[in-house]
């Protein structure tokens, strides 16, 4: 994307190389791509302010880069104090790199329609940590900002153009699934660039 810092542009170059070499090989992408993402998020010194802005009501998802062939996308997730996602899936692999603050991810297992979903436990992500989810290793989770008094930010990489993918949110108590497309918080800017 235009006007992004050199450090981020280098990350996109490096991640694109991983995808060029290993497209379709999920375990290798998660391993090698995870190492590339870790380099990006280890030092919180590059994210432009406009992609770090929280909203008082909703967590924000700013698209930072979309692969021209839709093989991956990079998003900054900005959590206001106490904000959390609904329980949701992705349908593609995802890497989560914690950069500022702290978040908690709770994995769930889908049982069957009408049955309550089982929690598989939660994990805390601290700055510098990289986590992953995918349909093959566990794809349903809920993510929360650990803090009630400050912003947390993580950088996510997905195996597709995540804001355009039709996926699901879940009702834990009943296992009910509802389709959703997340979109991006910077849609207006994306339209202007196109």
Q: Residues marked as binding?
A: 88, 90, 141
Q: How far is CA 96 from CA 120, 121, 171, 192, in A?
A: 18, 17, 23, 28
Q: Give the Cα separation of 1 and 7 in Å (integer).
A: 12
Output the six-digit token pair for 58: 């909703």
Question: Please, how many CA atoms are within 13 Å of residue 91, restricted to the half-sphere of its CB?
Answer: 14
Spatial separation of the C-alpha atoms in residues 142 and 105, rounded to whole Å? 6
| Measured distance CA(108)–CA(112) in Å, rounded | 12
Per the annotation, where are the binding residues for Fe cation?
88, 90, 141
Is the alpha carbon torsion for 155, 160, 164, 169 positive or negative? negative
Residue 24, Cβ density class (10 Å: 0-12 exposed, 13-18 middle, ≥19 buried): exposed
- Determine contact, residues 127/155, Cβ cutoff 8 Å: no
């Amino acid at each position: 994307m235009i006007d992004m810092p050199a450090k981020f542009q280098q990350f996109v170059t490096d991640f694109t190389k991983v995808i060029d070499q290993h497209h379709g090989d999920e375990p290798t992408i998660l391993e090698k791509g995870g190492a590339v993402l870790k380099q990006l998020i280890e030092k919180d010194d590059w994210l432009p302010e406009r992609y770090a802005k929280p909203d008082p009501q909703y967590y924000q998802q700013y698209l930072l880069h979309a692969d021209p062939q839709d093989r991956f996308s990079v998003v900054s997730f900005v959590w206001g104090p106490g904000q959390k996602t609904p329980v949701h899936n992705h349908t593609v692999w995802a890497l989560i790199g914690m950069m500022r603050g702290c978040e908690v991810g709770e994995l769930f297992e889908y049982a069957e329609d009408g049955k309550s979903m089982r929690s598989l436990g939660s994990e805390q992500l601290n700055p510098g940590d990289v986590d992953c989810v995918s349909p093959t290793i566990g794809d349903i989770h809920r993510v929360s900002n650990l803090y009630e008094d400050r912003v947390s930010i993580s950088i996510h990489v997905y195996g597709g153009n995540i804001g355009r993918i039709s996926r699901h949110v879940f009702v834990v108590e009943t296992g009910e699934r509802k389709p959703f497309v997340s979109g991006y918080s910077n849609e207006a800017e994306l339209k202007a660039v196109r």
